[in-house]
Chain A
């Protein structure tokens, strides 16, 4: 297990956190986006199994250098393909990775008052992280 892009970005353009502690996977993605709308840098932090870490690593790797429109087309399937597939029980990890990218892009769009075609607010945003995680 040697993931790339682990860490945080100072002053990120967008941050998205998805998943929940109940099912045992939480992904947080940080994006740095240039004035021209190109993803300059991407980093992540993940609480989860090996597949969750691997999909986070791959998804952040794939988004770097892309335009926002392009970035929206990084699907969970593309992440899985890039990893040479995942066992069925781990497919949800790739979905979470896709959602994490989208959540970070959503955050960026909100902060900048942009409407990005085809981007919806994250559905999987986590409440537990703030409520019960450290009880």
Chain B
């Protein structure tokens, strides 16, 4: 059976060029960059080359890039770092209702410590309104943290305007760009970004390595204490193979972005049109315009997402859902609730995220397999039965 991986927002495979680039640093050039002999010097050099590449991808200076152990760590460091650094000036943070848990749970931690956080609402399109942001700003606001692009519904925020507003008010602007880097153009200078988190495993690098961009002049303190790595700001012997891979992956992603995003946008639109036209009672979640090139998120009324995933899995199709059963709690995705979906429609969501391995053939296969699966689940659904009775009272049934 064909295997169709439609979950690239969860993680990507390590592409061969990246794997090849990282391999020598396990068993050959395995030196610790802090040492002074030859194999260590080569490790040190590689580390700085990777930093140059990450910086170039963002339009930043290499001295502004700090490697971390994940996107999550970068988010934690940025938010807690700024909150605590400017605590004397104020204890108010502005974020959004649709952030990743790496941001939300960090904000919640700070709230328990006496900080105040305003979570900006989003429209049906999954996008904040800059006017809301402007209204939320207070004299004691020290940080605005709003993601560049959402991991569930792919909505893209007006980063440049948010950054401009933050700058005009003297507030630090951090953005979680984990889903955006290598997928849509980013330039920290032209977009007025002060801090940015990214992660290698969303752009065909390995898991467990990320980076935080920190604009020069922001005296962010160390978050992990120990040795003097990363210019004394992030202790711990560097994950050289991972960092090399991040550098290679980000370089490739940015150089191929224009062509790849055009290709993926076409597949995405074919999927969206195909799903909406072949399955009744189905709608798109998030913006149809300001949307990541690889993201499709739809809700099928009357059915539940996890059972849909199981039936798709039986056809070799791997996707994800915002239903409660897949979130590991009793509530469906906070993102889908934030765009105004009632619970049962959030439970019936399906996320497809395309990537380098996605083909037209896979999209066609999916579009062929999907409608009978949805019909089967609807035939099984008491909600659908109820709907049919209401919409067609002539139909008699138990």
Contact = CB atoms under 8 A, between A and B. Distances in A.
Interface of A: 1, 3, 6-12, 15, 17, 21-28, 30, 45-53, 89, 129-130, 132-135
Given A47-B303, A50-B307, A6 B344 contact: no
| Chain B interface main SS type | helix
Contacts of A89: 328
B380 interface: yes
B34 to A, nearest CB: 44
A77 B388 CA distance: 34
Given A28-B385, A47-B380, 11 more contacts: A8-B397, A8-B398, A9-B398, A10-B397, A10-B398, A11-B398, A12-B398, A24-B323, A47-B383, A52-B307, A135-B342
A13 to B, nearest CB: 10
B332 interface: yes
B398 A47 contact: no
A47 B381 contact: yes
B382 A28 contact: yes
Interface string B111-134: 000000000000000000000000
A32 to B, nearest CB: 10
A14 B307 CA distance: 27
Nearest to A17: B382
Contact of B383 (A8, A11, A133): A133
A49 B325 contact: yes
B304 A45 contact: no
B382 A46 contact: yes
B330 interface: yes
A129 B382 contact: yes
- Interface size classification for chain B: 20 to 34
Interface of B: 302-304, 306-307, 310-311, 314, 323-325, 328, 330, 332, 342-344, 347, 379-383, 385-387, 390, 397-398
A133 B324 CA distance: 17
26 contacts: A9-B398, A10-B397, A15-B398, A21-B347, A23-B324, A24-B304, A24-B324, A24-B347, A26-B382, A27-B382, A28-B382, A45-B380, A45-B382, A47-B380, A47-B381, A49-B304, A49-B307, A49-B324, A49-B325, A50-B306, A50-B310, A51-B325, A53-B380, A130-B386, A133-B383, A133-B386
A23 B380 contact: no
A24 B397 CA distance: 24
A46 B325 CA distance: 14
A37 to B, nearest CB: 20
Nearest to B343: A22
Contacts of B379: 6-7
Contacts of A30: 398
Nearest to A22: B343
